[in-house]
Structure 1
Amino acid sequence: MTAPAPLPEKTEPPAPDDVPAPQPKPDVKEPEAPAPEQPPAPPTEPAKPERSKPEPAESMQGPPLPPGGLKSPQPPAEDDKPPAEQTLEEQHLTIEPESDADHAECTAALQALGVVFKDTPRIDDGNGCGIDKPIIVSEPLPGIKLKPEATIRCPTALALARWIKESVIPAAAAALPEQGRITSVNQATAYMCRLRNNGETGKISEHARGNAIDIASFHFEKGEDVAVRSRREDPTLTGAFQRTVSAAGCLYFTTVLDPESDAAHETHFHLDVIERKGGYRYCH
């Protein structure tokens, strides 16, 4: 009966051996709980006010409009509408100015190609619709009429002339030699003050800035006109001609929309020279 008594006595001495082990534990508890009573820990005290400083700064921004986060101090768009839902009047757009030097260089290039055009006074139809230095083009190349004549910017006219000379005429000669040369290009829309696709809201059309022209058909010396229409499955040389000039348009214009793009362009090519970052082009 005396043997079990010493056993608990032997378990008691290891307890002091465990005393140094819990010493690191207070080290873990010190950063978790503030200890202002300990004088030798001044570095922990300044660290705490530093953490509390950003809290009032954020709270000063948050309370006025908490759901808006960092963007809350910014005023909302007019009538709380995003730009895509605003009318032309609500967007408060302005006409983009053109430099005299750039315009002179462009018109000189037109004259070198034989384009028949004339200058016309500045157009300002309000709401950002207009052209700073418009021209009226009657012949995009010598001997080829533009019907009806088109009021556009010079860069649009230059792209049109180069496209016809370098791509449309060679493609027509290869695909439709029996129809002779092209005598006129029929356009559906040049300058027009409106939004894209004639919408009531949304972005302004490039037609409203003189940057766009819609081509509806090509007239030849002989045979029927080649009207622009859906020709994706057209196995004829006429279909090949249209697909060729549509694809080539992206070499000269930054936007090319053809009848395969959508219902709004099923009867014409939409060609424009809008400037995009990085030289990006949209061709469909």
Structure 2
Amino acid sequence: MKKIIVILAALSCIGLLTNAGLPEKGPRPEIRPGKSITAKPTPGPPPKPEPKPERPDTETPPVTQPPSGSSPPLEKQGPKLPSQQTLEEQHLTIAPESDAEHSECVKELQALGVVFKDISRIDDGNGCGIDKPIKVTEVLPGIKIKPDAVFRCPVALGLARWMKESVIPAARVAAPDQGSIVGINQASSYICRLRNGAETGKVSEHARGNAIDIASFSFEKGKDIAVQPRREDSTLIGAFQRTVSSAGCLFFTTVLDPESDAAHETHFHLDVLERKGGYRYCH
């Protein structure tokens, strides 16, 4: 009996060992020599396409290589900034002046006592010139301008009014011991040149007869009062120069003084350039 039980147990163990390596269903796979079995990957969802980059506002053309043996193409550049034009390149013309306006201006000069005379039309070419120029020898009675100045009538009128209503009253307060002003010394009136005497750039208002440069004021007694940097000058003379410089903007559309820049350290630049909206530049 014991032998029968042992035999049955052995047979059961062999059956278990035999069935352990077999799959639950189907035939056992045949393994060929030299090949291994690899599991097939489980198919997943298709990959998403990569988003296209946004198109820039301005496209850059692709760079192409030149054919072998040819010269490389020139680098494409943006538009060049316009170079400063010389006097000849500006092709300016002399602005015509109204007969009626000139006549009215002349009457006002005569009423103020300005000593002047009309001279022939000036045309130096390339926009330099004055349609109706005048030559002034006295800006007000007894106040000479040295040397004689040539410009348009509106400049003479602005100069006479500025002297009468601003410069003379301020000088009486600032330099009472020096007596009356007897002259103004000008550094430039009409001249055919570019701004600040540069070799390139825009035509100066002096070349159109619109400007006068004042270098100093002469008195009956004492020294001339020169125009020079006086921002830190705490004297009455410093106050005089700052006062007449500021007041100049009431009579001229442009006033540049020694505090403006290095080109005007020795004089006032006064001009009557007309700007849109009545804009004035005073510095």
> What is the TM-score normalised by the length of structure 1?
0.71
For this pair of structures, how many residues does the alignment match?
A: 208
Q: Does 2:192 match 1:193? A: yes
Offset at residue 81 of structure 1 (A): 6.6
Which residue matches 1:103? 102
Query: Which structure shows the bigger proportion of residues in helix conformation?
Result: 1
The residue identity in structure 1 corresponding to 2:262 is: A
Measure, in 2, the Cα distance between the counterparts of 1:191 and 1:244: 26
Taking the TM superposition and a 5 Å limit, the aligned residue runs for 1:7-26 are none
Q: Does 2:224 match 1:250? A: no
Which residue matches 2:11? none
Task: List gaps (5 residues or longer) in structure 1.
Answer: 1-66, 69-75
Which residue matches 1:122? 121
Taking the TM superposition and a 5 Å limit, the aligned residue runs for 1:59-138 are 82=82, 85-138=84-137
Offset at residue 111 of structure 1 (A): 0.2
Which residue matches 2:237? 238
Q: Does 2:167 match 1:206? A: no
Measure, in 2, the Cα distance between the counterparts of 1:100 and 1:135: 14
Residue 149 of structure 1 aligns to a residue in which SS? strand
Residue 140 of structure 2 aligns to a residue in which SS? coil
Which residue matches 1:52? none
Measure, in 2, the Cα distance between the counterparts of 1:178 and 1:192: 36
Which residue matches 2:53? none
Task: List gaps (5 residues or longer) in structure 2.
Answer: 1-76
Offset at residue 277 of structure 1 (A): 0.4
Offset at residue 173 of structure 1 (A): 0.6
Measure, in 2, the Cα distance between the counterparts of 1:169 and 1:98: 31
Which residue matches 2:151? 152
Offset at residue 211 of structure 1 (A): 0.2
Measure, in 2, the Cα distance between the counterparts of 1:198 and 1:104: 32
Residue 183 of structure 1 aligns to a residue in which SS? strand
Offset at residue 201 of structure 1 (A): 1.5
Residue 200 of structure 2 aligns to a residue in which SS? coil
Measure, in 2, the Cα distance between the counterparts of 1:136 and 1:272: 16
Which residue matches 2:179? 180
Larger-Rg structure: 2
Offset at residue 203 of structure 1 (A): 1.2
Residue 263 of structure 2 aligns to a residue in which SS? helix
Which residue matches 1:223? 222
What are the superposed Cα offsets for residues 55-87 of structure 1, whole Å, 9 maximum, x if unpaired? xxxxxxxxxxxx99xxxxxxx9xxx773x6110
Measure, in 1, the Cα distance between the counterparts of 2:277 and 2:175: 37
Offset at residue 199 of structure 1 (A): 1.3
Offset at residue 157 of structure 1 (A): 0.4
